[in-house]
Homo-oligomer: A and B are copies of this chain.
Amino acid sequence: MKFELLDRDSGTRARRGRLHLAHGSVEAPVFMPVGTYATVKGMTPDQLRSLAVEILLCNSYHLLLRPGHETVARMGGLDRFMGWDRPILTDSGGYQVVSLCALRGIDDDGVRFRSHLDGSSYFLGPETAIDIQMALGSDIMMVLDDCLSYPATQMQTRESMRRSLAWASRCHAHFQKSAPAGQELFAIVQGGVDRDLRNESAEQLMNLGFPGYAIGGLGVGEPAPVMYEVIERVEALLPPERPRYLMGVGTPADLVECVALGVDMFDCVMPTRHARNGWLFTSGGHIVIKHARYKDDPNPIEEGCGCVVCRTYSRAYLRHLFMANEILSSVLNTIHNLYFYRDIMRRIRQSIEFHRYGELMAEVRSRRASAVLSDTE
């Protein structure tokens, strides 16, 4: 894998990059829509391509349960299985095991857990996490990490970070031994909100040497300023010639702020999940499409938005589809929200190229402040 660092903003740490992966190149900073079960809910691959999506995230945990990674492998890997010929990143399943499975036992070997679907037993260790992701055939795999809940004591955080380090080392060794063609393995820096533990995690992972580094364990309930501070400190440690990926984040405002701190990659369910719940992003805040005020509203979701939904449909129609529980409601809302995220990322990349990232930040911050004041939803 090659990561080109194309440009840097002059006033912030924002970087303009390009990832070259087995299934194509990706312009960074990039937002990755989430395709949990080998589908971004409601979207055909054609629709994703028309939204200029360049890379997706799929969840190993979910695919392990349904349809099973062996089935995906037999069908030729995720790309052929889901008809998506562009890059895919898979997570390791570590986060879902903690957040979705009530029954689990964890030790240094890995996690024994029961499926949240039918209670059947599974084991996920560092080597199996790599094997599963090799079967899925993603361009970027993630190491298995031990995901801590927030808040945690210093002792819990240290233990969890060190276990994550040990697993990362075993993932790295297993990956090197198998040396799958066209797949890369990214590390995940852990250590909660503790400066020393984050330092230790980052340094040890850099000693192993990875083509990319994620920052994990954020966006789990800590205040935004705390998250930003951790990113700022970790970023300073990471090698500038490698991409940095902030996992599971975030809101449009988070994206703008975290790019300024040097983050290159993001993923989040927010645009797609919110869409299905009828929560639609606009630059002036959000609208909740089910509200009665939109019953006879002939306007698009956002005046001036270039997405096919805003160019074609009224809020009245979108509200109607939502109230009638129509499939097309999820489809159209998802198209709009993904377009909104894509448009933010496009503006982010452009602002970096023009070395005017500070202006974009100021604009987004001030619009956000006035949106919070005027938001009556």
Contact = CB atoms under 8 A, between A and B. Distances in A.
A7 interface: no
A42 B327 contact: yes
Most buried by B among A67, A83, A320: A320
A44 to B, nearest CB: 7
Copies of this chain in its oligomeric complex: 2
Contacts of A327: 39, 41-42, 327, 330-331
Interface in A23-71: 37-39, 41-46, 66-67, 71
A143 B305 CA distance: 41
Interface of A: 37-39, 41-46, 66-67, 71, 74-76, 81-83, 295-296, 298, 308, 312-314, 316-317, 319-321, 323-324, 326-328, 330-332
A71 B296 contact: yes
Contacts of A332: 44
B328 A74 contact: no
Contact of A326 (B41, B312, B321, B331): B41
Nearest to A50: B46
A147 to B, nearest CB: 23
A328 B66 contact: no
B67 A314 contact: no
A75 B300 CA distance: 12
A76 B71 CA distance: 49
A315 to B, nearest CB: 10
A331 B313 CA distance: 20
Contact of A75 (B46, B66, B83, B298): B298
A320 B71 contact: yes
A83 B43 CA distance: 19
Contacts of A295: 67, 71
Given A67-B295, A327-B42, A317 B74 contact: no
A83 B37 CA distance: 30
Contacts of A71: 295-296, 316, 320
Given A67-B319, A75-B296, A83-B317, 18 more contacts: A42-B327, A43-B328, A44-B328, A66-B320, A67-B316, A67-B320, A71-B296, A71-B316, A71-B320, A74-B296, A74-B316, A75-B317, A81-B314, A82-B317, A83-B313, A327-B327, A327-B330, A327-B331
10 contacts: A37-B324, A41-B327, A43-B328, A44-B328, A44-B332, A66-B324, A71-B296, A76-B298, A81-B314, A81-B316
A278 to B, nearest CB: 14
Nearest to A332: B44
Contacts of A320: 37-38, 66-67, 71
B324 A44 contact: no
